[in-house]
């Protein structure tokens, strides 16, 4: 298509696991999972909103969300007169309507159509977009749900308005190639990029600032902020009046990351993977640090071996075993085209339950290190894990992108980091990620079909932080205090204003620069 973007077509009838050897790895879009399964005082929100000179509730700010959709009939998204606070919904899953201008799929519903539907006895006959999962509805309500005094509920910025993208599920061919099991919610990277462009276009057309929340992530990629989505979001943060908030993910305590060092004595490292019978197929990635080149040997629980598989440019090897029904595909890519680093991609079908051994050998006969990651979220069960796992370098992509605001979760009740929260740093650049921590424990939210519940983990924290970003955008742009402010500026302001414990050294790979505090931002701006 051009120097930065490309498109390939692989006929479904001809697709097979080794297509990843015939084409560069990065051409196949990665796939993302959801990252979620309040106390307003601790983040300075109440103090700022009660200050008559500030009183920031999101007026004039757009909240952009790409997720599982939204229950637009829920009162959390209505004005007091019953009209909608949603300006548009792009439902990528509905093909019968008119797509947004400049796009070729999905259906767009504007505010007028949504309000018409709300007045109808059968709203879904006019706007058939629904949120089957509930995650998108919860995220949107935490950020900017309308105040409901009867149920003691309010979002962070209840006067902001919404631009919603309901993502379509990843194509089956991508699920098959990446060995994603049937069932889990799964979105493809290219649709996230399209959704981002749509949100930016809407903000520009409406001439309004945009606080954009992305509570999704993937363990695919080298965890170094390099990649199509990460690069695009990093660029977006430099556009005035737009700020992107990303989730750190919930892989910190899942035992799905291994970090190993090949020593100078044996020049090899063996590590173990416990595989559950629940996982009929899955993939994992090993990323060695340059300049080493690693071979890989896989040993089954019954003792059979693939022997060493050496790095090549574009070779996929399939292994079948005598005593187990397992099939393993190995792509040992000497130079992955997007990063230039070596990538060892392993994919298992019908793996035998038990302890698998993975042995890497440094061909260069020197000291080297490498990272291995299993899939994120519910793409794999909690019963498949590394026996000697490492909780660091578990921030999900695109949360490793350099410029966007990456948010981790802490328990606001006891002020402790939530153990599942993804940890930094990034793999190759050792950049500080996550950037900041926000409340993420049982945050009150709207649930589909009316009523309220709670949401936890880093998706909830990212929504919480996005609400605070919207407060800053109202002060800076809508009130004219800093109209050229960019997402990078907002990120830096929040880092400076964060709460920090005296006994902890900041920044670090767990808390980033500390706990988010909007009052601290204004103290930094106004106090001498």
Specify whether the CB–CB gap between 409 and 458 falls below 8 A. yes
Residue 497 has pLDDT above 80, yes or no: yes
Span 501-508, average pLDDT = 95
Q: What is the pLDDT of residue 339?
A: 87
Residue 106 has pLDDT above 80, yes or no: yes
Q: What is the mean pLDDT of residues 98-126?
A: 98
By the 10 Å C-beta count (0-12 exposed, 13-18 middle, 19+ buried), 102 is classed as exposed
* C-alpha distances out from residue 6 to 102, 119, 153, 168, Å: 18, 44, 46, 21
Return the higher-pLDDT residue of 449 and 72. 72
Model pLDDT, residue 292: 85
**Residue 309 banded pLDDT, cuts 50, 70, 90:** very high
Confidence bin at 38 (pLDDT 50/70/90): very low
pLDDT value for 44: 86
**3-state helix/strand/coil string of 18-70:** CHHHHCCHHHCCCEEEECCCCCCHHHCHHHHHHCCCCCCCCCCCEEEEEECCC
Tens digits of residue pLDDT in 403-448: 999 999 999 999 999 999 999 999 987 899 999 999 999 999 999 9
What's the rounded mean pLDDT across residues 118-147? Answer: 97
Instruction: Compute the distance between CA of residue 27 and CA of residue 232 in angstroms, rounded to an integer.
Output: 15
Phi, psi of 354 (to 5 degrees): 140, -160
Three-state SS for 248-259 is CCCCCCCCCEEE
Over range 284-310, report the average pLDDT: 95
Q: What is the pLDDT of residue 21?
A: 63
pLDDT value, residue 4: 46
Mean per-residue pLDDT for 156-184? 95
Would the pLDDT of 79 be above 90? Answer: yes
323 burial level (CB within 10 Å; 0-12, 13-18, 19+)? exposed
pLDDT at residue 128 above 80?
A: yes
> Beta strands 257-262 and 107-110: pairing type?
unpaired
Phi-psi region of 256 (alpha: psi -120 to 50; beta: other; left: phi over 0): alpha
pLDDT recorded at residue 31? 82
Per-residue model confidence (pLDDT) at position 526: 84
* Residue 8 pLDDT class (50, 70, 90 cuts): low
**Mean model confidence pLDDT for the chain:** 93
pLDDT digits (tens, 9 = 90+) for 443-459: 999 999 999 999 999 99
Structure confidence by residue, pLDDT tens digits, 201-213:
999 999 999 999 9
pLDDT band for position 2 (50/70/90)? Answer: very low
Among candidate residues 285, 287, 291, 259, the one with its CA nearest the CA of residue 366: 291
Given pLDDT bands bounded at 50, 70 and 90, which one contains residue 11? low
Q: How far is 249 from 247, CA to CA, in rounded Å?
A: 5
In tens, the pLDDT along 215-225 reads: 999 999 999 99
Record the pTM.
0.93
Per-position b or e across 411-421, b if 16+ CB within 10 A of its CB: bbeeeebbebb
Has residue 347 got a pLDDT over 70? Answer: yes
Mean pLDDT of 234-260: 97
Q: Which is more confidently placed, 118 or 324?
A: 118
Does residue 496 surpass a pLDDT of 50?
yes
pLDDT more than 90, % of the chain: 84
Segment 351-370 mean pLDDT: 93
């Amino acid at each position: 298509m051009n120097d930065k973007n490309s498109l390939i077509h692989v006929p479904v009838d001809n697709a097979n696991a080794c297509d990843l050897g015939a084409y560069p790895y990065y051409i196949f879009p990665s796939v993302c999972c959801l990252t979620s399964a309040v106390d307003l005082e601790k983040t300075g929100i109440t103090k700022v909103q009660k200050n008559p000179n500030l009183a920031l509730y999101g007026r004039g700010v757009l909240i952009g969300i790409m997720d599982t959709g939204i229950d637009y009939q829920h009162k959390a998204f209505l004005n007091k007169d019953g009209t909608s606070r949603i300006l548009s919904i792009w439902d990528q899953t509905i093909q019968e309507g008119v797509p947004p201008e400049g796009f070729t799929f999905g259906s767009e519903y504007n505010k007028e159509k949504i309000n018409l539907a709300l007045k109808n006895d059968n709203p879904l006959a006019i706007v058939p977009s629904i949120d089957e999962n509930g995650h998108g509805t919860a995220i949107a309500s935490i950020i900017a749900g309308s105040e409901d005094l009867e149920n003691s509920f309010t979002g962070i910025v209840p006067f902001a308005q919404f631009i919603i993208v309901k993502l379509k599920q990843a194509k089956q061919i991508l699920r098959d190639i990446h060995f994603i099991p049937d069932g889990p919610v799964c979105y493809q990277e290219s649709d996230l990029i399209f959704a981002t462009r749509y949100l930016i276009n809407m903000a520009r057309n409406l001439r309004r600032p945009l606080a954009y929340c992305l509570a999704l992530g993937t363990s695919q990629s080298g965890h170094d902020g390099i990649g199509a989505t990460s690069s695009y979001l990093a660029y977006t943060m430099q556009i005035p009046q737009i700020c992107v908030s990303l989730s750190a993910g919930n892989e910190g305590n899942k035992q799905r990351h291994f970090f190993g060092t090949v020593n100078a004595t044996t020049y090899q490292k063996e590590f173990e993977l416990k595989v559950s019978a629940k996982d009929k197929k899955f993939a994992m990635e090993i990323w060695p640090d340059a300049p080493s080149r690693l071979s890989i040997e896989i040993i089954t629980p019954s003792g059979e071996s693939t022997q060493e598989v050496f790095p090549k440019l574009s070779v996929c090897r399939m292994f079948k075993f005598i005593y187990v029904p397992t099939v393993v595909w190995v792509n040992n890519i000497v130079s992955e085209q997007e990063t230039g680093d070596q990538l060892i991609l392993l994919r298992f079908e019908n793996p035998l339950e038990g302890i698998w051994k993975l042995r890497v050998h440094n061909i260069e006969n020197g000291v080297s290190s490498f990272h291995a990651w299993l899939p994120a979220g519910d793409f794999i069960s909690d019963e498949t894990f590394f026996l000697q796992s490492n909780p660091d370098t578990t921030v999900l992509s695109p949360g490793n992108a350099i410029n966007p605001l990456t948010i981790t979760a802490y328990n606001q009740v006891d002020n402790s980091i939530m153990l599942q929260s993804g940890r930094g740093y990034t793999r190759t650049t050792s950049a500080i990620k996550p950037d900041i921590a926000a409340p993420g424990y049982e945050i009150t939210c709207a649930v589909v079909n009316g009523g309220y519940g709670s949401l936890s983990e880093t998706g909830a924290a990212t929504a919480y932080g996005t609400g605070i970003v919207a407060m800053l955008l109202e002060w800076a742009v809508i009130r004219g205090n800093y109209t050229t402010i960019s997402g990078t500026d907002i990120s830096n302001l929040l880092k400076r204003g964060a709460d920090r414990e005296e006994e902890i050294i900041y920044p670090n790979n767990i808390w980033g620069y500390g706990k988010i505090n909007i009052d601290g931002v204004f103290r930094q701006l106004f106090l001498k």
